[in-house]
């Protein structure tokens, strides 16, 4: 039915070995022979079976990615960066989310053991970092994409959380704001500590509320702060969802943004340009993080030595209506 290397060999009057040599452009093949083989390959429309090649070579030319829920607002950018890079290298990308508890973790580890892929890209594996580390120790190439401030023993890509926090503070300071309210993510995350330190290093404040990375959390935090009679002229939110919640709470309370209170977020998710007013935020280069991580993994698979030092990408302040320039 389907055309195999044997068909090509027969048709071209050579051995399978020679066809294989042509396929993999090894030296030491007569130019005429090679041309003839290539012609047969074309007319027959022959494409080597990836399964058979993988078995014979012991590598699948496929990498896997393990992600948090794909509905997170910045996942699309990261994923696109990864897919583009992986595709361009001629690799396939296998996607796992482990979204369904223990059963799906088993499915995933099974695929690892089954050698279904050559390397692994991981994004914020909240509960599986130990498992991943163990896999890495057993020889699976792994690269982590992380905005949570983990510090694994394998290569990773991160952003300048501290500098990002500082840039938000400088921006507010320049605009004349001196009494900021901080609404952070969970204190357990390294990125939360870094963003806070970067910010307070420039613009110290006693008004710090620990929240979660959700819109509801941001709304709640600001409602509470207002109810408690706290006096603040700006909000620095640890991500854009928190900031969106803050915007909503302020609007509901009749505070004007940015006249009464300026708001700065973190991430620059697609929604940030559609809030009212559009959100000033510290941009994380999500697509570039995906590209960089995929590039590292592919380099590692190609045998190039890559260090274990995290690659740190710069954040960038994006100024919009919620906190205009000073």
Partner DNA sequence: CTGAAAGCGCTTACAG
Does position 6 interact with DNA (CB under 7 A)? The reply is: yes
- In terms of CB distance, is 47 or 187 closer to a second copy? 47
Does position 43 interact with a second copy (CB under 8 A)? The reply is: no
Among 124, 63, 56, which Cα is nearest to 91's? 63
Question: Of these partners, a second copy, DNA, none, which one is at the site of residue 275 (CB under 5 to 8 Å by kind)?
Answer: a second copy
Q: What is the CA radius of gyration of the chain?
A: 26
Exposed/middle/buried for residue 306 (C-beta within 10 Å: 0-12, 13-18, 19+): middle
Among 10, 16, 61, 179, binds DNA (CB under 7 A): 16
How far is the C-alpha of 16 from the C-alpha of 36, rounded, in Å? Answer: 14
Tokens of 1: 């039915």
Does position 91 interact with DNA (CB under 7 A)? The reply is: no
Question: Of these partners, DNA, a second copy, none, which one is at the site of residue 215 (CB under 5 to 8 Å by kind)?
Answer: a second copy
Contacts of 54 (CB under 8 A, 6+ apart): 60, 61, 62
CA dihedral in degrees (13, 15, 16, 19; nearest 10)? -60
Query: Cis peptide leading into 42, omega within 30 of 0?
Result: no
Question: Of these partners, DNA, a second copy, none, which one is at the site of residue 14 (CB under 5 to 8 Å by kind)?
Answer: DNA
Does position 260 interact with a second copy (CB under 8 A)? The reply is: no
Does position 149 interact with DNA (CB under 7 A)? The reply is: no
Q: How many residues bind DNA (CB under 7 A)?
A: 30
Question: Of these partners, a second copy, DNA, none, which one is at the site of residue 33 (CB under 5 to 8 Å by kind)?
Answer: DNA
Question: Of these partners, DNA, a second copy, none, which one is at the site of residue 69 (CB under 5 to 8 Å by kind)?
Answer: a second copy
Tokens of 19: 């066809």
How far is the C-alpha of 274 from the C-alpha of 234, rounded, in Å? Answer: 20
Does position 274 interact with a second copy (CB under 8 A)? The reply is: yes
Does position 109 interact with DNA (CB under 7 A)? The reply is: no
Does position 78 interact with DNA (CB under 7 A)? The reply is: no
Does position 95 interact with a second copy (CB under 8 A)? The reply is: yes
Among 45, 206, 303, 307, binds a second copy (CB under 8 A): 45
- In terms of CB distance, is 79 or 226 closer to a second copy? 79
Does position 23 interact with a second copy (CB under 8 A)? The reply is: no
The alpha carbon of residue 43 and the mean position of all alpha carbons in its chain are separated, in whole angstroms, by: 42
Contacts of 34 (CB under 8 A, 6+ apart): 22
- In terms of CB distance, is 270 or 324 closer to a second copy? 270
Q: Which stretch binds a second copy (CB under 8 A): 121-129, 189-197, 244-252, 307-315?
A: 244-252
CA dihedral in degrees (174, 182, 157, 244; nearest 10)? -90
Q: Residue 144's beta-bridge partner residues?
A: 122, 156
Binding mask 18-37 for DNA (x = CB under 7 A): xxxx-xx--xxxx--xx---
How far is the C-alpha of 18 from the C-alpha of 5, rounded, in Å? Answer: 10
- In terms of CB distance, is 71 or 231 closer to a second copy? 71
Q: Are 64 and 121 in contact (CB under 8 A)?
A: yes
State the residues that interact with DNA by CB under 7 A.
2, 4-6, 13-21, 23-24, 27-30, 33-34, 46, 48-49, 52-53, 55-58
């Amino acid at each position: 039915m389907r055309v195999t290397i044997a068909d090509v060999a027969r048709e071209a009057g050579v051995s399978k070995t020679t066809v294989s040599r042509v396929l993999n452009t090894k030296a030491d093949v007569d130019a005429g022979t090679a041309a003839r083989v290539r012609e047969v390959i074309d007319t027959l429309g022959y494409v080597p079976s990836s399964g058979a090649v993988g078995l014979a070579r012991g590598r699948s030319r496929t990498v896997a990615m393990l992600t948090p829920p794909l509905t997170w607002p910045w996942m699309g950018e990261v994923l696109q960066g990864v897919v583009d890079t992986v595709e361009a290298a001629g690799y396939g990308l296998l996607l796992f989310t482990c979204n369904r508890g223990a059963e799906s973790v088993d499915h995933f580890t099974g695929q690892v053991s089954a050698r279904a892929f050559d390397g692994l890209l991981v994004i914020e594996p909240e509960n599986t970092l130990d498992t991943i580390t163990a896999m890495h120790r057993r020889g699976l190439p792994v690269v982590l994409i992380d905005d949570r401030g983990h510090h694994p023993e394998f290569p990773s890509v991160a952003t300048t959380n501290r500098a990002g926090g500082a840039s938000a503070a400088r921006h507010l300071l320049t605009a004349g704001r001196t009494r900021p309210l901080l609404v952070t993510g969970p204190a357990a995350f390294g990125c939360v500590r870094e963003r806070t330190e970067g910010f307070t290093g420039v613009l110290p404040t006693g008004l710090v509320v620990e929240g979660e990375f959700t819109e509801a959390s941001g709304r709640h935090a600001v409602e509470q702060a207002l109810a408690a009679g706290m006096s603040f002229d700006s909000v620095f939110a640890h991500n854009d969802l928190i900031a969106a919640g803050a915007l909503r709470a302020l609007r509901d309370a009749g505070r004007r943004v940015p006249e009464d209170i300026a708001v700065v977020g973190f991430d620059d998710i697609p929604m940030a340009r559609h809030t009212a007013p559009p959100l000033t935020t510290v941009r994380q280069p999500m697509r570039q993080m995906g590209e960089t991580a995929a590039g590292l993994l592919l380099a590692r698979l190609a045998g190039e030595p890559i260090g274990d030092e995290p690659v740190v990408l710069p954040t960038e302040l994006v100024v919009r209506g919620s906190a205009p320039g000073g």
